[in-house]
Amino acid sequence: MSQHDLELKKLRKVYPGGTVAVEAFDLQVERGEFISFVGPSGCGKTTTLRMIAGLEDISGGSLLIRGKDFTKVPTERRPTSTIFQNYAIFPHMTVRENIEFGLTVRKVAADEKKRRVDAIIEKLQLGDVAGAKEGALSGGQKQRLALARGLITEPDILLLDEPLGALDANLRKSIQEELKLLQRSLNITFIFVTHAQSEALSMGDRVVVMNTGRVEQISAPFELYTRPKSPFVARFIGRNQMIDGTLDEVHDGRASVATRFGVLSGVPSFERTDSASGANAMIVVPSEYVEIFAAGASASDELRDRVSGVATAIDKAGQVVYVTVELDSTLSVRLESHMENIAGRGIEPGSSVDLRWRPERATVVLGGS
Ligand SMILES: Nc1ncnc2c1ncn2[C@@H]1O[C@H](COP(=O)(O)OP(=O)(O)O)[C@@H](O)[C@H]1O
Ligand SMILES: [Mg+2]
């Protein structure tokens, strides 16, 4: 009775030998969503994908697709297709034969097979190379062939494990866009694994951030970028400035943190009931929201929170300027600014500066450095 295309409930994987690769993984995916999984190497992304595909036994918890329990159903009876980084194209078969293969093993009748293969060849613009073999294909064509093979069986869910990893940067960018458009036009759920945060954020409707087998946060990209829920996410995603301290008070949707630079405040990322005064906490501010002024210069009233330091380096790159500011002996920050905010405002190497931001742009996360 579930409306969800995919539902993971407390999914767990322990490999023989005892490695706990995935723990308590909860996720609900709407039909047609594009979900990115991101996290450092070894955090359990591939293992989770393989459990969804039925390529890996599930050690605990359950997995539902369109409301039906698939936890123990073998891979060939799941409505999923998987695309791996190396594409696993059969080199001795033509493009057409590679695409047909999934229907041949399912014993689909010849006329229907032809109709479906023709349609997908057209959709993915592989007509010109339908008779070619892998060796004659460009990187982009191989990528499209891998997609065609994944989609020909009309899966409910397409699983992609770092599918763009083998491509160079320019091709990668254009294929990201193609992939996103294709997914929209098909309205099929995509689960897309990557270790690159920028790719996860640009592709995903929602992003699942993983760390050592656990889900750290599931959020839409902008939310993830501006409102991290843990020190790990604040460090892994975006460009955040972070100052640690201890939680002071929480009320009316504001939390204050006692830091060695004074009391600073922000929007708490946690439920009020989680908070304990005196717990380790961090103020997290996306670098984009931090403004730099000469020490003591007046600034808009909205930029209420402030720390002071010394500009130790100013690197100019055209109109963009990178300013390194030492706040104390253990904390230096690097900020991007514009020439017009720096030149003629008394900010030079060695000068004292104030960094200011709006407290409502800051997030307070629990945990230490
Ligand atoms: N077949 C396996 N047997 C034992 N341990 C494995 C196996 N595959 C992966 N692992 C371990 O499980 C953890 C998660 O791996 P993986 O899912 O491949 O991470 P990711 O895809 O995020 O890099 C790692 O510690 C890895 O060493
Ligand atoms: Mg992997």
pLDDT tens across 207-250, in order?
Answer: 999 999 999 999 999 999 999 999 999 999 999 999 999 999 99
Tell me which residue range forms the domain holding 307: 239-366
Helix (H) or strand (E) holding 322: strand 320-328
Residues 318-353: pLDDT tens digits? Answer: 889 999 999 999 999 999 988 888 877 889 999 999
Radius of gyration of the chain (CA): 25
Residues linked to residue 285 through DSSP beta bridges, in sequence order: 241
- Contacting residues for 284 by C-beta, under 8 A, at least 6 apart: 228, 231, 234, 240, 241, 242, 266, 362, 363, 364, 365
Residues 146 and 244 in one domain: no
User: In a mutational test of the pocket of ligand 1, which residue from 23, 47, 192 has the highest number of ligand atoms less than 8 Å from its CB?
Assistant: 47
Residue 233 forms part of a structural domain? no
Q: pLDDT above 90 covers what percent of the chain?
A: 81
Q: Is 144 touching ligand 1 by the criterion CB < 6 Å? A: no
The predicted model gives 75-89 an average pLDDT of 90
SS3 state of residue 229: coil
Confidence of residue 106 (pLDDT cuts 50, 70, 90): confident
Ligand 1 closest atom vs CA 15: 4
Return the ∠ at Cα 359 (arms to 357 and 361), rounded to 5°: 80
276-297 pLDDT, tens per residue?
A: 788 999 999 999 999 999 999 9
Q: What is the pLDDT of residue 275?
A: 66
Q: Is residue 187 domain-shared with residue 328, that is, in the same domain?
A: no
Q: With 70 as the cut, is the pLDDT of residue 274 above it?
A: no
Q: What is the CATH number of the domain that holds 291?
A: 2.40.50.100
* 47 Cβ closer than 6 Å to some ligand 1 atom: yes
Within a domain: 121: yes
Within 8 A by CB and 6+ apart from 72, the residues are: 58
In DSSP terms, 13 is beta-bridged to 22
Beta bridge mates, 210: 215
pTM for the predicted model, two decimal places: 0.93
Q: For the chain, what is the domain count?
A: 2
Residues 6+ away with beta carbon under 8 Å from 367: 230, 231, 232, 280, 281, 282
Mean pLDDT of the chain: 93
What is the predicted pLDDT for the residue at 343?
78
**CATH code (residue 28):** 3.40.50.300
Query: What is the mean pLDDT of the segment spanning 44-69?
Result: 97
Tell how far the Cα of 12 is from the centroid of ligand 1, in angstroms: 13
Q: What is the C-alpha to C-alpha distance for residues 100 and 288, in angstroms, rounded to an integer? A: 50
pLDDT computed for residue 273 by the predictor: 67
Looking at the structure, do residues 256 and 319 belong to the same domain, yes or no?
yes
Same domain, 289 and 181: no
Distance set, CA 266 to CA 234, 305, 321 (Å): 14, 9, 27
